[in-house]
Amino acid sequence: MEGVLDNMCGFAGFCEYREAFPGQEQHWLDLARRMARRISHRGPDSQGAHYSPHCVLAHARLAVMDPEHGAQPMSRPIADQEVTIAYNGEVYNAPELRQELESLGYSFETACDTEVVLASYLHWGPDCAQKLNGIFAFAVDDPVNQRTFLCRDRFGVKPLFYTLQEGKLVFASEIKGLFEFPGVRPVVGREGLCEVFGLGPARTPGCGVFAGIRELKPGHIAMFDRLGFRDLPYFQLEALPHEESYEQTVSHLRELLLDTVTRQLSADVPLCTFLSGGLDSSVVTAIAAKHLRQQGKTLSTYSFEFEGNEEFFTPSLFQPDRDQNWALKVSDTLGTDHRTLLCDNRQLADSLNDAVLAKDLPGMADVDGSLLHFCRLVKQRHTVALCGECADEIFGGYPWFHRREMYDSTHFPWSNNLDQRGGLLKPELRKALGLEEYVSARLEESLSAMPTLPGETAEQVRMRQLSWLNIHWFMATLLDRKDRCSMWSGLEVRVPYADHRIAQYVFNTPWEYKCHLGESKSLLRDAAEGLLPAEVLHRKKSPYPKTHNPGYEALLKQRLSDVLRDSAQPIHKLLSEETVSGLLNQTFDYGKPWFGQLMAGPQMLAYLLQINTWLLRYQIYLDI
């Protein structure tokens, strides 16, 4: 039986090793199931639970491969014990691992990669993480070694949060699952507010914003036993000499791209791609369409648009043109079954609340909400999608890689105006939080962890810093958005550019390769030569679309005005009424974002609405 990809899911659990859980097995199973039910949108197809004296696990499954098998939690006997896994993700090299493990004497009963991951843990122990190529988070109840083992993929595509509660480790795919455990409360202190107002919608790696809640960092494993909790990295980007010529690098990258996309096309359910007509999604779509065509299949593709953009769109540095005609052009060229999905003003405004509930935090406002809306529509016909996310962070496509006034900044390059953000707060609160100091400390911590090579020039170090920051912060934000907004509807979205082999390889290619002959992302463009028409390969970057309809801004102002008039709304505890009232009377410049490329004035209003929804719906206690 060939090893194949399994499912995208959610799981939750808790463990204790100082003493066994006292009797009442059904009580503990019911508690774990309640935790998993809070994240059942991640796995609407089936649920399961597992009990042992020291660890309880529950699982909600979205079946992608071998839907009739692979129920979780999954157990395997060893040394008169049962080792059990709860797993969320896909391991793209599962067939090779299965073959290797079979040669070592292991046998398999399912076609799911869950069983491959479990067998990998049994054979290699914690070192199994380094063997896995994919996107995953999982927990293993290991009674043989009297420990619980946690693992998360190299770039954190799949989430995993945890907290320590009276000697117990409590964990879940999403924060909301933790709140079902007795004693875990939605408290936000000064650090959490600094995250939301100083860094948000980005987050410090490992920070869960809520007091006492952490996220297992990307590329980390953790173990919990009688000695307590400890985590350590199994993967970090390395600074290595790059000794290949430009032509060799282009060829090497092309091989990686073809292998990565092809691996990620495995599914026993309907599969599609997101196609904007930009370089990144078009390359993924071209490889996918050719592969499926060889099997006699037609690839389905989707592009996203907003009501009124045809009339109101205005080009800017960050968004030079609209996607629609380009998406249709690429679809016609590749012969895909293409559909354009539409979002109107009210749907977009309404999506803000769902996006908060999906992420458990305020996020990229309508950039999140619109993706959630579109994923809900895609899910009506498909269960798996591939997208072009992460290419700009890895290949240096954003304006802040190219404009000196942006990349020489002493702030995070995608979030330069801290005065604007801090000005939203009551002056006394802003002073108490030390917002500027907090953000500067997080930036310095991140840069101090970056590897360098001896002899690199100041310019080479700076470009490496930009890559490092973008991968560990901005890319992490977009991957979190992608997972949470898609899984809210049980849609799995795969991200080929986040393959660690590509990221590690390109991290060490010289900037003059990434921007060969002065063209942004030329390395990717040249690696995709022949896959797409030249005008598509050399199209200027245009980011994920957003609405330019002034009716949306008017709707946001009305909703925020309603919040400000209601003294019972929780956001009044935080905001400078004068500053926010001024926003309501302001005409915004859509070309001057305060976060990333898309979050300008209207998105500031939407972000404040999301913060209020977050405080209200999660009944947050502010410990400030």
What is the chain's length? 624
Which helix (H) or strand (E) covers residue 119, if one does?
A: helix 113-124
HSE, side-chain direction, 13 A CA sphere, residue 488: 26
Q: Which of 9, 55, 387, 515 is catalytic?
A: 9
Give bridge partners of residue 152 from the DSSP assignment. Answer: 137
Q: Are 305 and 342 in contact (CB under 8 A)?
A: yes
Interacting residues of 458 by C-beta distance below 8 A, sequence separation 6+: none
Place of tokens 């890559």: 467
Structure-token pair, residue 608: 């404040």
Label residues 526-554 b or e (16+ Cβ within 10 Å = b). Answer: bbbeebbeeebbebebbbbbbbbbeebbe
Q: Are 192 and 128 in contact (CB under 8 A)?
A: no
Q: Please state, as a whole number, how many other Cβ atoms lie within 10 Å of the Cβ of residue 71.
A: 16
Interacting residues of 463 by C-beta distance below 8 A, sequence separation 6+: 396, 401, 407, 511
Q: Are 70 and 94 in contact (CB under 8 A)?
A: no
Rounded Cα gap, residues 72 and 58, in angstroms: 8
Q: Taking each helix axis as running N to C, give the angle between helix 345-359 and helix 475-487, from 0 to 180 degrees, rounded to the nearest 10.
A: 100
Rounded Cα gap, residues 528 and 341, in angstroms: 27
Structure-token pair, residue 587: 């005409």
Interacting residues of 556 by C-beta distance below 8 A, sequence separation 6+: 349, 602, 605, 606, 609
Task: Output helix, strand, coil percentages for the chain, rounded to the nearest 5.
Answer: 45, 20, 35
Interacting residues of 400 by C-beta distance below 8 A, sequence separation 6+: 406, 407, 409, 413, 414, 466
Rounded Cα gap, residues 16 and 285, in angstroms: 47
Query: 527-530 — which CB contacts under 8 Å span 24+ positions?
Result: 527/250, 527/251, 527/253, 527/254, 527/257, 528/254, 528/257, 528/279, 528/283, 528/286, 529/250
128 is an active site residue: no
What's the Rg (C-alpha) of the chain? 24
Rounded Cα gap, residues 197 and 426, in angstroms: 12
Helices (H) and strands (E) in the chain, counts: 25, 19
CA angle 480, 486, 490 (to 5 degrees): 130
In eight-state DSSP terms, residue 595 is B
Q: Point out the residues that are catalytic.
A: 9
